[in-house]
Protein backbone atom coordinates (compact mmCIF):
# COMPACT_ATOMS: atom_id res chain seq x y z
CA UNK A 1 0.00 0.00 0.00
CA UNK A 2 1.27 3.48 -0.88
CA UNK A 3 1.64 6.06 1.88
CA UNK A 4 3.47 9.34 2.49
CA UNK A 5 4.14 11.88 5.25
CA UNK A 6 5.21 15.47 4.52
CA UNK A 7 6.77 18.29 6.56
CA UNK A 8 7.47 21.89 5.56
CA UNK A 9 9.32 24.67 7.39
CA UNK A 10 7.28 27.83 7.84
CA UNK A 11 10.18 30.27 7.59
CA UNK A 12 12.59 28.94 4.96
CA UNK A 13 12.78 26.69 1.87
CA UNK A 14 13.08 23.33 3.62
CA UNK A 15 10.72 20.37 3.16
CA UNK A 16 10.85 16.65 3.85
CA UNK A 17 8.86 13.58 2.82
CA UNK A 18 8.83 9.98 4.06
CA UNK A 19 7.02 7.63 1.68
CA UNK A 20 6.47 4.09 0.50
CA UNK A 21 5.33 3.50 -3.07
CA UNK A 22 4.39 0.27 -4.78
CA UNK A 23 2.01 1.45 -7.49
CA UNK A 24 2.67 5.18 -7.78
CA UNK A 25 4.68 6.27 -10.80
CA UNK A 26 6.20 9.76 -10.75
CA UNK A 27 5.64 11.69 -13.94
CA UNK A 28 8.74 13.44 -15.27
CA UNK A 29 9.10 16.61 -13.23
CA UNK A 30 11.64 18.81 -11.47
CA UNK A 31 11.99 20.89 -8.30
CA UNK A 32 13.37 24.40 -7.80
CA UNK A 33 15.35 23.01 -4.84
CA UNK A 34 18.16 20.58 -4.16
CA UNK A 35 16.59 17.20 -3.40
CA UNK A 36 18.61 14.74 -1.30
CA UNK A 37 17.06 11.35 -0.60
CA UNK A 38 18.00 8.04 0.96
CA UNK A 39 16.36 4.74 0.02
CA UNK A 40 15.45 2.76 3.14
CA UNK A 41 14.03 -0.38 1.61
CA UNK A 42 13.52 -1.85 -1.85
CA UNK A 43 14.64 -0.49 -5.19
CA UNK A 44 13.69 2.86 -6.73
CA UNK A 45 14.22 3.21 -10.50
CA UNK A 46 14.25 6.53 -12.34
CA UNK A 47 15.63 8.39 -15.32
CA UNK A 48 17.64 11.57 -14.87
CA UNK A 49 20.09 13.48 -17.10
CA UNK A 50 19.62 11.09 -19.98
CA UNK A 51 20.41 7.89 -18.05
CA UNK A 52 18.59 5.14 -16.16
CA UNK A 53 19.42 4.73 -12.48
CA UNK A 54 18.43 2.50 -9.56
CA UNK A 55 18.73 3.40 -5.90
CA UNK A 56 18.84 0.42 -3.53
CA UNK A 57 18.55 0.42 0.26
CA UNK A 58 21.23 2.62 1.82
CA UNK A 59 21.96 4.59 -1.35
CA UNK A 60 21.64 8.37 -1.63
CA UNK A 61 19.85 10.33 -4.36
CA UNK A 62 21.10 13.83 -5.27
CA UNK A 63 19.12 16.08 -7.62
CA UNK A 64 20.23 19.59 -8.55
CA UNK A 65 17.59 22.34 -8.92
CA UNK A 66 15.60 21.84 -12.14
CA UNK A 67 16.93 18.29 -12.71
CA UNK A 68 14.08 16.54 -14.58
CA UNK A 69 13.42 13.03 -13.28
CA UNK A 70 10.68 10.44 -12.93
CA UNK A 71 10.49 7.45 -10.59
CA UNK A 72 8.83 4.13 -9.82
CA UNK A 73 9.32 0.91 -7.91
CA UNK A 74 11.69 -1.49 -9.63
CA UNK A 75 9.64 -4.53 -8.51
CA UNK A 76 6.27 -5.43 -7.01
CA UNK A 77 7.51 -5.01 -3.42
CA UNK A 78 7.88 -1.24 -3.79
CA UNK A 79 10.37 1.04 -2.09
CA UNK A 80 10.54 3.24 0.99
CA UNK A 81 12.58 6.43 1.03
CA UNK A 82 13.18 9.70 2.81
CA UNK A 83 13.85 12.90 0.86
CA UNK A 84 14.70 16.45 1.87
CA UNK A 85 14.15 19.45 -0.41
CA UNK A 86 16.44 22.42 0.35
CA UNK A 87 16.26 25.75 -1.48
CA UNK A 88 19.48 26.72 -3.28
CA UNK A 89 19.65 29.98 -1.34
CA UNK A 90 19.59 28.02 1.94
CA UNK A 91 22.31 25.65 0.67
CA UNK A 92 24.49 28.64 -0.26
CA UNK A 93 23.81 30.22 3.14
CA UNK A 94 24.89 27.06 4.96
CA UNK A 95 28.02 26.69 2.83
CA UNK A 96 28.95 30.34 3.39
CA UNK A 97 28.59 29.81 7.13
CA UNK A 98 30.85 26.74 6.96
CA UNK A 99 33.47 28.42 4.78
CA UNK A 100 33.27 31.86 6.39
CA UNK A 101 32.76 33.49 2.99
CA UNK A 102 30.18 33.50 0.18
CA UNK A 103 29.91 30.20 -1.67
CA UNK A 104 28.32 29.39 -5.01
CA UNK A 105 25.77 26.57 -5.25
CA UNK A 106 27.26 23.10 -5.79
CA UNK A 107 26.76 20.70 -8.69
CA UNK A 108 26.06 16.99 -8.24
CA UNK A 109 26.93 14.99 -11.35
CA UNK A 110 25.91 11.56 -10.01
CA UNK A 111 22.17 11.20 -9.25
CA UNK A 112 22.86 8.09 -7.14
CA UNK A 113 25.69 7.90 -4.58
CA UNK A 114 26.69 4.90 -2.49
CA UNK A 115 27.99 6.50 0.72
CA UNK A 116 27.00 5.25 4.21
CA UNK A 117 28.08 8.54 5.83
CA UNK A 118 25.79 10.61 3.63
CA UNK A 119 22.95 8.13 4.14
CA UNK A 120 23.38 8.32 7.92
CA UNK A 121 23.43 12.14 7.91
CA UNK A 122 20.33 12.35 5.74
CA UNK A 123 18.40 9.91 7.92
CA UNK A 124 19.30 11.90 11.03
CA UNK A 125 18.27 15.22 9.49
CA UNK A 126 15.06 13.77 8.12
CA UNK A 127 14.10 12.18 11.43
CA UNK A 128 14.71 15.50 13.20
CA UNK A 129 12.52 17.42 10.74
CA UNK A 130 9.57 15.03 10.84
CA UNK A 131 10.05 14.23 14.51
CA UNK A 132 9.72 17.78 15.81
CA UNK A 133 13.29 18.20 17.06
CA UNK A 134 14.25 21.60 18.54
CA UNK A 135 15.30 24.28 16.05
CA UNK A 136 18.92 24.23 17.22
CA UNK A 137 19.18 20.49 16.62
CA UNK A 138 17.59 20.82 13.16
CA UNK A 139 20.06 23.57 12.23
CA UNK A 140 23.03 21.52 13.42
CA UNK A 141 21.96 18.51 11.38
CA UNK A 142 21.21 20.67 8.33
CA UNK A 143 24.73 22.14 8.44
CA UNK A 144 26.29 18.70 8.88
CA UNK A 145 24.25 17.18 6.05
CA UNK A 146 24.83 19.95 3.51
CA UNK A 147 28.53 20.08 4.35
CA UNK A 148 28.91 16.32 3.98
CA UNK A 149 26.95 16.21 0.73
CA UNK A 150 29.14 18.90 -0.82
CA UNK A 151 32.44 17.56 0.52
CA UNK A 152 31.76 13.94 -0.42
CA UNK A 153 29.49 14.06 -3.49
CA UNK A 154 29.62 17.45 -5.23
CA UNK A 155 31.89 17.72 -8.26
CA UNK A 156 31.80 21.43 -9.04
CA UNK A 157 29.91 24.65 -8.58
CA UNK A 158 26.56 24.79 -10.34
CA UNK A 159 26.82 26.36 -13.74
CA UNK A 160 24.24 29.09 -14.09
CA UNK A 161 22.28 29.30 -17.30
CA UNK A 162 22.04 27.02 -20.33
CA UNK A 163 24.32 27.09 -23.34
CA UNK A 164 21.51 28.19 -25.64
CA UNK A 165 20.50 31.83 -25.56
CA UNK A 166 17.24 30.94 -27.30
CA UNK A 167 16.31 28.47 -24.56
CA UNK A 168 17.14 31.03 -21.87
CA UNK A 169 14.98 33.68 -23.55
CA UNK A 170 12.09 31.23 -23.85
CA UNK A 171 12.46 30.27 -20.20
CA UNK A 172 12.36 33.91 -19.12
CA UNK A 173 9.22 34.41 -21.22
CA UNK A 174 7.52 31.45 -19.52
CA UNK A 175 8.63 32.44 -16.03
CA UNK A 176 7.45 36.00 -16.54
CA UNK A 177 3.93 34.95 -17.53
CA UNK A 178 3.41 31.26 -16.83
CA UNK A 179 -0.37 31.73 -16.67
CA UNK A 180 -0.56 32.95 -20.27
CA UNK A 181 -1.69 30.59 -22.98
CA UNK A 182 1.53 31.08 -24.92
CA UNK A 183 1.59 29.51 -28.39
CA UNK A 184 4.62 27.88 -29.99
CA UNK A 185 4.98 30.65 -32.56
CA UNK A 186 4.87 33.37 -29.91
CA UNK A 187 7.43 31.57 -27.76
CA UNK A 188 9.73 30.99 -30.75
CA UNK A 189 9.49 34.67 -31.64
CA UNK A 190 10.45 35.63 -28.09
CA UNK A 191 13.39 33.21 -28.29
CA UNK A 192 14.49 34.47 -31.69
CA UNK A 193 14.52 31.14 -33.52
CA UNK A 194 12.28 28.62 -35.25
CA UNK A 195 9.79 26.46 -33.33
CA UNK A 196 11.78 23.31 -34.09
CA UNK A 197 15.10 24.86 -33.06
CA UNK A 198 13.56 26.14 -29.82
CA UNK A 199 12.06 22.75 -28.97
CA UNK A 200 15.40 21.00 -29.45
CA UNK A 201 17.47 23.60 -27.57
CA UNK A 202 14.97 23.83 -24.71
CA UNK A 203 14.91 20.07 -24.20
CA UNK A 204 18.70 19.97 -24.34
CA UNK A 205 19.01 22.77 -21.77
CA UNK A 206 16.22 21.85 -19.34
CA UNK A 207 15.40 18.19 -20.02
CA UNK A 208 11.77 18.74 -20.99
CA UNK A 209 9.59 20.49 -23.56
CA UNK A 210 8.53 24.13 -23.00
CA UNK A 211 4.93 23.04 -22.32
CA UNK A 212 6.10 20.63 -19.61
CA UNK A 213 8.26 23.35 -18.06
CA UNK A 214 5.29 25.73 -18.05
CA UNK A 215 3.28 23.10 -16.14
CA UNK A 216 6.13 22.83 -13.62
CA UNK A 217 5.95 26.57 -13.02
CA UNK A 218 2.20 26.33 -12.43
CA UNK A 219 2.62 23.41 -10.04
CA UNK A 220 5.27 25.29 -8.06
CA UNK A 221 2.95 28.28 -7.80
CA UNK A 222 0.18 25.96 -6.62
CA UNK A 223 2.46 24.52 -3.92
CA UNK A 224 3.20 28.02 -2.60
CA UNK A 225 -0.50 28.89 -2.42
CA UNK A 226 -1.45 25.57 -0.84
CA UNK A 227 1.25 26.07 1.79
CA UNK A 228 -0.52 29.31 2.72
CA UNK A 229 -3.74 27.34 3.26
CA UNK A 230 -5.70 28.61 0.25
CA UNK A 231 -8.71 26.53 -0.93
CA UNK A 232 -7.73 23.94 -3.53
CA UNK A 233 -10.34 25.07 -6.05
CA UNK A 234 -9.15 28.67 -5.79
CA UNK A 235 -5.55 27.55 -6.19
CA UNK A 236 -6.40 25.58 -9.33
CA UNK A 237 -8.12 28.58 -10.88
CA UNK A 238 -5.31 30.97 -9.92
CA UNK A 239 -2.49 28.82 -11.28
CA UNK A 240 -3.77 27.94 -14.74
CA UNK A 241 -5.40 24.54 -14.20
CA UNK A 242 -8.80 23.76 -15.70
CA UNK A 243 -10.32 22.77 -12.36
CA UNK A 244 -9.52 21.14 -9.03
CA UNK A 245 -9.39 17.61 -10.47
CA UNK A 246 -6.95 18.75 -13.15
CA UNK A 247 -4.62 20.20 -10.52
CA UNK A 248 -5.00 17.11 -8.32
CA UNK A 249 -4.15 14.75 -11.16
CA UNK A 250 -0.89 16.52 -12.00
CA UNK A 251 0.00 17.21 -8.36
CA UNK A 252 -0.20 13.50 -7.53
CA UNK A 253 1.75 12.51 -10.65
CA UNK A 254 4.62 14.85 -9.84
CA UNK A 255 4.67 14.98 -6.02
CA UNK A 256 3.17 11.68 -4.89
CA UNK A 257 0.34 13.16 -2.81
CA UNK A 258 -2.88 15.11 -3.25
CA UNK A 259 -3.02 18.91 -2.91
CA UNK A 260 -5.21 18.46 0.16
CA UNK A 261 -2.69 16.25 1.89
CA UNK A 262 0.12 18.66 1.06
CA UNK A 263 -1.85 21.63 2.41
CA UNK A 264 -2.69 19.74 5.61
CA UNK A 265 0.98 18.79 6.10
CA UNK A 266 2.04 22.42 5.74
CA UNK A 267 -0.62 23.54 8.22
CA UNK A 268 0.51 20.88 10.69
The domain segmentation of the chain, as residue ranges, is: 3-157, 161-207, 215-268
pLDDT of 200 > 80? The answer is yes
pLDDT band at 162 (very low <50, low <70, confident <90, very high): very low
Q: What is the mean pLDDT of residues 131-154?
A: 92
pLDDT for position 132: 86
DSSP 189-215: HHHTS-HHHHHHHHHHHHSS-HHHHHH
The whole-angstrom separation of Cα 32 and Cα 11 is 17
User: Comparing 3-157 with 161-207, is the CATH topology the same?
Assistant: no
The whole-angstrom separation of Cα 99 and Cα 147 is 10
pLDDT band at 49 (very low <50, low <70, confident <90, very high): confident
Q: What is the mean pLDDT of residues 190-194?
A: 90
Residues linked to residue 62 through DSSP beta bridges, in sequence order: 36
What's the CATH number for 161-207? 1.10.10
Mean pLDDT of the chain: 92
The whole-angstrom separation of Cα 108 and Cα 118 is 13
pLDDT for position 184: 86
Q: At the top level of CATH, which class does the domain 215-268 belong to?
A: mainly alpha
- Which of these ranges, 12-16, 36-40, 154-158, has the smallest mean pLDDT? 154-158
What's the CATH number for 3-157? 2.60.120.10
Amino acid sequence: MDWSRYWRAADRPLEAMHAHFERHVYHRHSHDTYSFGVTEDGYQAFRCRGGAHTSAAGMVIAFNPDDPHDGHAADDLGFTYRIVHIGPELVSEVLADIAGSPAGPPLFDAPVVGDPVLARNLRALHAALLGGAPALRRDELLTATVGAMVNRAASDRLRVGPSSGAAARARRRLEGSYLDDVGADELAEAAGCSRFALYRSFRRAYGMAPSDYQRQLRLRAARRRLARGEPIGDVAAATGFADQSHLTRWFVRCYGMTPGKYRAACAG
